Chain A
Amino acid sequence: DAGVTQSPTHLIKTRGQQVTLRCSPKSGHDTVSWYQQALGQGPQFIFQYYEEEERQRGNFPDRFSGHQFPNYSSELNVNALLLGDSALYLCASIGGQGGHTEAFFGQGTRLTVV
């Protein structure tokens, strides 16, 4: 158990709808990254949150947005869902310094857009 909690575990949405996914990082970790994993592919970086701000962003459209709360938990929002947004969405909880930097992943949210 990596201590990273994601909810919900599965979700079915209709094309055009909006969705919010949630992540609680491991205790003591203050940085959260979100990844999208399409079937048969490796995870692709969406963005990272630290100190309640988006610090880095991958090659994803503005329909993907996020938020980090003072307790370090985070949300991923996707607007105007497309069929191609169907994927496993992973949250990575990152903490530590120097040689002890660690990153643990949650079990993911499986999003299906129909």
Chain B
Amino acid sequence: GQNIDQPTEMTATEGAIVQINCTYQTSGFNGLFWYQQHAGEAPTFLSYNVLDGLEEKGRFSSFLSRSKGYSYLLLKELQMKDSASYLCAVRPHTTTDSWGKFQFGAGTQVVVTP
């Protein structure tokens, strides 16, 4: 079956670095996405990985290892506004019926303290 695991909650102080891990077991793989979601709001896109390696985007970086079914999101120089839920999403496969379907993890709540 499909399984995407990420920690429930992480706490870090302002200015620090936090790494959110995500492991997945899906029927096929066609890309991994990270989204940020503030309470009561819709998710916003952060990053996309389809090949192994590190993708850097300002303070946020995302890493993927397809052989290990593993990704992480790295948040550097944490700010208070980074307090949110971070969702790992895998696009398992691509068919004409399911093009673009995502499987979401339960989300990791990051709490940034002063």
A, B bound: no
Q: Which B residues fall within an 8 A CB radius of A? A: none
